Amino acid sequence: MNALPAEVVAHQPRVRAALETALDAGPSHAYLFRGPRGSGKRAAARSFAGEILASAATDPDDTRRRALLDPSPHPDLVWLAPSGAQHLVEEVRERVIRAAVYRPFEGGRRVFVIEAAEALRDESQNALLKTLEEPPAFVHILLLSSEPEALLETVVSRCQEVEFAPLPPDTIEAALRGSVEDSSAERPEVPGIAGDPGRSGAEEVAAAARLAAGDLELARFLLGERGRELCAGAQRCAASVAQGAEDDEPPWRDLLSGAESAGEEAEAAAREVLAAEVEAGVKRSKREIDEEARRIGRRRRTEQLELGLDLLAAWFRDLAAVAFGAEEVALNRDRIDALRAQAAGIDAARARRAVELVQDTRRRLDLNVSEELALEALFSRLRRIAG
């Protein structure tokens, strides 16, 4: 597969071997590309789809060329991405399930790619089952997912899984380089953190690459306005704990309010998508729309809060590293002066214990505990640890 993207060739050798073997033996009818966002799934899927189409085309080079274009003009490559928070049920039915019964317009194969498959509602996934299990011989379906746990087990079991590993930080950093200017006006100030004179754009990009843990899309988010605000909020929380400050407003309030805002935006976007489905003829009551939109909003709120706690845990991890004298392994090395200032008041063992408490609270969110009570309890325990 000479058309595989560079990040897959260099950092996904098992993916390359699996796809090349599939092409040599004859591709299966359904695949699930699973792995972190930004790990190369989308580019690999486009390349793989092009090779499948080219293998049964009279002009393989031209077929491959058209398949690799984005968007692709090839009539036998159908690429479905969610128009909003989720895929439209009717669009899945029309463009994949019903369209799959028609023979190829040219060549001998058709490929259907469903991007962000985790955004398929249960109704769409159940409707896809028969197509996944017994498709026409010329049909191949590729599901791409960063959250495969959101897919029904019956869907996953009908697909051959291709696992994408997280990209290494230097690869993410290279992809991000040049996307952020060195203008301090674009970076939010972080009040309450001592010894932080500011960072260069290169330092911020490198830190985002490390914090993203192999997720290129997350790294891009961390460099955006909301991502910077979330990082700043997590660092203010840690500073409040390390300094033993008694703030008028609880330090965790910023994390919760940011998550609430993200959830409200996701709920509003979901309502628009669901309303569009109703206008397109999908039967759905107002109650069903309200319940579905609220569910999506809650999910986004929880995701945002979990990310905030991940960033808080990463900061305490870095405090432990600095206190132990291992600054070179800190993830937030772009704020090394702030880490040094905070680490002076807490030993490595206490910082490691703080990481454990934050991670435990994050896990508890999956049990539908009260977020406010969980955060209040967390920061009470963190203050006791900090002494």
Residue 174 in any domain: the answer is yes
- Domain that residue 289 falls in: 169-386
Question: Among candidates 176, 164, 262, which has minimal Cα distance to 216?
Answer: 176
β partners of residue 110: 139
Greatest mean pLDDT among 9-18, 21-30, 183-192, 251-260 lies in: 21-30
Question: Among candidates 210, 193, 132, which has minimal Cα distance to 335?
Answer: 193
Compute the half-sphere exposure of residue 190: CA atoms within 13 Å on the CB side of its CA.
27
Residues 366 and 333 in one domain: yes
Residue 204 in any domain: the answer is yes
Residue 26 in any domain: the answer is yes
Q: Mark which of 163, 192, 225 sits at the end of a domain.
A: 163
Q: Kindly report, residue by residue over 217-262, the tens digit of the pLDDT.
A: 899 999 999 899 999 999 999 988 877 666 667 888 889 999 999 9
**pLDDT at site 31:** 98
Average pLDDT, the chain: 87
Q: Kindly report, residue by residue over 352-372, the tens digit of the pLDDT.
A: 999 999 999 988 876 767 889
Question: Among candidates 218, 163, 174, 154, which has minimal Cα distance to 13?
Answer: 163
Given a contact cutoff of 8 angstroms between Cβ atoms, the answer to whether 80 and 74 are in contact is no
Residues 181 and 326 in one domain: yes
117/216: higher pLDDT = 117
Residue 1 in any domain: the answer is no
What kind and span of H or E run contains 22?
helix 13-25
Residues 243 and 379 in one domain: yes
Residues 111 and 174 in one domain: no
| pLDDT surpassing 70 at residue 210 | yes
Residues 270 and 330 in one domain: yes
State the CB neighbour count (10 A cutoff) for residue 281. Answer: 7
Q: Mark which of 163, 184, 203 sits at the end of a domain.
A: 163
- DSSP structural state of residue 113: E
Residues 25 and 129 in one domain: yes
Residues 199 and 85 in one domain: no
Residue 52 in any domain: the answer is yes
Report how many domains make up the chain. Answer: 2
